[in-house]
Structures are given as C-alpha cells and as structure tokens.
Structure 1
C-alpha cells in the first residue's frame, strides 16, 4: 500500500487516503471521504494559526497510522536467541492492518484495525474501530494531543464481520447496535519532534492511556481484564506494548517483560508482503520453521496434571 498524501488547502483539512475503495474531493468547502454507498463531510474550521498546526499534526498522524505493520523481524531475532512467547519472555508473530473508514460530521475520523497471528490473514484475533480527533491532554489542559477512542463490536456485528471475512465496508453503518465505546480506555497521542531513543527515527508520536490503563469486561474470559498500553508511532514503525491482567495481576496476554511488539510498516513488494491480505502467498521457509519451533516449545511447556 502506498503512503497517503496529506495536505491543508483553503483553510480546511483534506486528507487523501490512497486505498482502492476511497478517494477525496472538496465540495462546499468541506472534505469528503468517499466510501462505497456513503459520503460523510468533515468540516473543520481553521480560523487560527494554532488550529492549523493542530490539524497538520492530525493529518500527519492519520498518514502514519494507516497501513500494515508486522513484527516478524523481532520474532526472528528472538527465536535465534531461544526466546519464546508468553512465559518465555518473547513475542508472538503479530500483523496489524489499519484502514480509514470515514469522517463523522464533527470531524472525527473512524479507522478499522485488524490483528492476526503468524502473518496469516485468516487467523484474526482482534478487531476494533478507532475514533480519532484533536483533543487536549488529560494531564495538561493547555497541551494539545490527539485522542483515540476504542470501539468494540457487539457480538452480532462481530459474528457478521467474521462471516464476511472482515470486509468492513459490507457492514450496515446505520445500525445503532454496531459497537460499544470502551469508556476509560482512550489512547492519547502526543507529537514529538525529537529523535526517539529506542526506535531511532526522528519526529514521532507517543501513545498513552490516562492512569496507564483501564479495566473492561471481557466477553471471552467472562471477567474483568485490566489493560495497560503504551505505543510509539513513526512513519515506518508502530510499537505496541499492550498487556492484560486478571484481578490477581496474572498475565492474560501481552509481553511478560513489558517489551513492545516492534512492528514495522509492510508494503506490497517488500520482504514481508507475504503477510498482506491482498498479496498473501505461501510462507517462506523461515516463517514455517519459526511456527514449528513455537509449536514444539508450547507443547513442551504444557502444564502437567
């Protein structure tokens, strides 16, 4: 997927998402993101220099955040060091695919995120809608950040989405029972112009949750999960340190050493394009070898009765 082009024109934010199913055009001084069978205007007034700067940052975040990201290189390095997932302190092979959906009338942008294991688009383990918009820091009201609400699909919509192989544009977006807002789990993104010490790139966004995390009811475990998350976003990386704990602070998911899933941007034609939905092809030998290593390690560490 090619990187999108972002620009500010005529006092309004216009973001051109270069995906097959959408394009943008200006109409009545508004930006319209067109998606099959629907068009939503997002009109944002840029009357001050400060608001122009805010929307330029928002536009940058949107262009960096969409696309495909994968941590296969991290997994290869860990397995070479005999480091395995979960109790072994390593990471599972995770691919994240994020695509823009549409703008709401209030200027908020909705995006669809899908996560799957082992570079296989058929092994989806999480899917969410994110609602992003300029906001203020929960700690410093005078500081501008970007706020991202996390929306979880209701059971009926989730089942429907699985049936249509996660073709998000086939869902009925007029339904009032599509998804629920996970209150308190908002992620705030702060823009930094300096080079990030760990990632090694220049300007970047740091993602954080107020208080470091939130607590939500899990339909899977039928109990409360305490979530902690911090993230790093650059033009070429999405690092995610998402962990879940039960009421006794036992790990449910995530890296047990608190190390980010270090996902790098993947584009068609590069070394990891076998992980992409549109171009998915047979795994290379090294990927098959790692899956077998992980299987053997998991079997050997099964708890005994």
Structure 2
C-alpha cells in the first residue's frame, strides 16, 4: 500500500509517483513556497498587547518553523520556541506526492482534443498534492538537532546517516495523518481566513494553497507521552509570505483541550527567509555529493531576522524582544511542552 511503502522507503515514493503524474500549479506553488523560515512573533506581540497569554489565556505561543528542501518532493521541518533553534520541540520529514487523478480513467476513451483540453484545465483546477508526515529515527533526530543552528547542512546529515541497526528506516510515516493541499478554500474548515486581511503579498485564491486532513479528525497515540491518545483537528493555509497553522488537539474521551489556540485562532507565521539552491532553482535541495552546500538562505523580512538564531542578533536584542512578549513561551507553557507538540500526530502547538 502507499502508506506502508512510505514507512520504509519514503525517500523514493514521491519520486516514482511524480514521474507518472503531471505536476501542475499546486505542486509548483508548493515547491516554490513551502520552504524557508516562518515565525509568528508579530502575532504573539499583538496578543500580549491585548493581554492574551498562551493556552487558557487565549493567546499563542511564540514559535518558528524552518523548512529545508532535501529534494523537490521532500522537506525537513523543524519547529522551535522563542527564536531559539536549540529549543526544537519537533522535527519531521515531509513527503509530497501528487494525488491520484480519478478523472484520468474517465477520459481514456475520449478522442476529442477539445474535451481533453477542457479536462486538463479542470485537472489543474482540481489538482491536489498529498503530504505524508514522518518521524525521524531517534539517532538521526539527535544528530540533526546537534546542527540546529546550521540547517543548510541538514541535507548532507540526512543523506549520510546510517542507522546502527541494519534495516531500521531513517523515517517512519505517521499513520492516518496525511494532508491534502489544493487551491480549494473549505468554507467551514478554512473559515478563519474570513477574519484575516492578507490581501497583500499576492494573497489571492490562485496563489494561495490550503490543506485539510485526508482522513478528517484523527485519534492518534502521542509520540511523546506513552499511553496518551489525542484527537487531532488541523487545517493549513499557505501564501507566498504567510503560513497559517490551525492545529488543535483534544482528549478523545472528555473533549478537554490539550494543545493549540483555545480561541481557535490559527497560528499566523510570517515568512522570514527563503531557502533554495544557489542560483534560485526550485529543484533538489541537497543530499549526496555535498548537496547542502548548494543551499542558500536569504532573509526577506529583516524585522524577524533575529528569530533565525544567535548568529542573526545580539544578546541584548534577543532579551528585548522576549521581554516585549512577557518572556519565553517555553517558560510560560512549561507544564505542557512535553505533553503535546502538535503537527497532526498529537504532540504540539504547531501543526503539520
């Protein structure tokens, strides 16, 4: 099955699938925009001005997302609190796969070029890209975290890693946590967009992408707390310079809130940088032959550059920024950091 294949051969699944499927505008947009650094500091600052603290206070934790391309179809994703890459609370491997196009079977006997052209236009409008979420081998995750401040080297670290136990996979798929990216804005699941005014940065329907959980709300085992079960509800929206993560987790029996924003206001992360190959290409991001050296990180939002890490700020600037939001989110949310970390697998405040 697709899922079981992704569990053990994730690095090749999407490549083989993509060769048999046309890559349309959704794929191209993901390849272009689903990379780089994103951070929600501006949202958190506004929360604190309104006296909204994390969790029960109705506010958001401050966190950062770094997406590093390994290949055209794969990403390493790290999420960390408070602009400190040494406080990564989740590391994931994402795999993009063109979704099966059911309309192809219906068109095989259609000899009309006009009809086929119409069908192709329809396919582009209805194009979807599935994304598999994977955990990393524990030793690989530890190794990547030891290079937390140098994400451009992650492709080489990933490529060169070999598990100590022969046959163990580098990555393992999170079952029933796949999401589907498309141009479609679900009027219910993406209703949060009606309350946001991101009309700059070419944020229109043709350029924005939106995601839902393929299997709907899913009950999963926590990857952090043994025996904990969490009901996951998650939606995403990606613009060129803004990334919305609307991820919540609930106790499947009592319905009690476990993580996410309790007002159900999505985390709004603004783009801080782009990460792409030297020369601006959108192809492979590394892996093999020093691929990581080909990547370049270009800051596009100087106001948030300090969130990338200690090499991008002074200690005084960092202290000043954290004081403005009442101190570290990690400290504010300490009792829940290890309880849940989201991302559709039931382990944190961040989303997929």
Q: TM-score, normalised by structure 1?
A: 0.71
Match for 2:87 among 96, 115, 123? 123
Match for 1:180 among 159, 172, 178? 172
**Is 1:244–1:253's contact at 8 Å kept on the other side of the alignment?**
yes
Alignment partner, residue 341 of structure 2: none
Alignment partner, residue 72 of structure 1: 41
The answer to whether 1:111 aligns with 2:79 is no
Deviation at 1:207, TM superposition (A): 0.8
Deviation at 1:178, TM superposition (A): 1.6
Greater RCO between the two (CA within 8 Å, min separation 6)? 2
Residue segments in structure 2 that go unaligned for 5+ positions in a row: 1-13, 106-122, 186-192, 274-298, 335-352
Please identify runs of 4+ aligned residues in structure 1 that moved more than 6 A.
Answer: 293-299
Alignment partner, residue 266 of structure 2: 260
Deviation at 1:185, TM superposition (A): 0.4
Deviation at 1:210, TM superposition (A): 2.4
Q: How many residues align?
A: 248
In structure 1, distance between residues paired with 2:333 and 2:87: 18
**Is 2:26–2:127's contact at 8 Å kept on the other side of the alignment?**
no
CA RMSD of aligned residues (A): 3.3
**Is 2:26–2:209's contact at 8 Å kept on the other side of the alignment?**
no
**Is 2:245–2:266's contact at 8 Å kept on the other side of the alignment?**
yes
In structure 2, distance between residues paired with 1:214 and 1:74: 28
Alignment partner, residue 207 of structure 1: 211
1:271 counterpart SS class? helix
CA distance 1:93–1:59, shift in 2 (3 Å): same
Match for 1:101 among 62, 67, 70? 70
2:145 counterpart SS class? helix
The structure richer in strand per residue is 1
In structure 2, distance between residues paired with 1:284 and 1:271: 15
Deviation by residue 1:126-161 (Cα, 9 ceiling, x = unmatched): 1101000210489xx984211000001233333333
Residue segments in structure 1 that go unaligned for 5+ positions in a row: 1-40, 104-108, 300-305
Q: TM-score, normalised by structure 2?
A: 0.62
CA distance 1:292–1:60, shift in 2 (3 Å): closer
The answer to whether 1:160 aligns with 2:143 is yes
**Is 1:157–1:179's contact at 8 Å kept on the other side of the alignment?**
no
**Is 1:182–1:216's contact at 8 Å kept on the other side of the alignment?**
no
The structure richer in helix per residue is 2
Deviation by residue 1:94-128 (Cα, 9 ceiling, x = unmatched): 1111011125xxxxx11011111111111111110
Alignment partner, residue 246 of structure 2: 241
1:272 counterpart SS class? helix
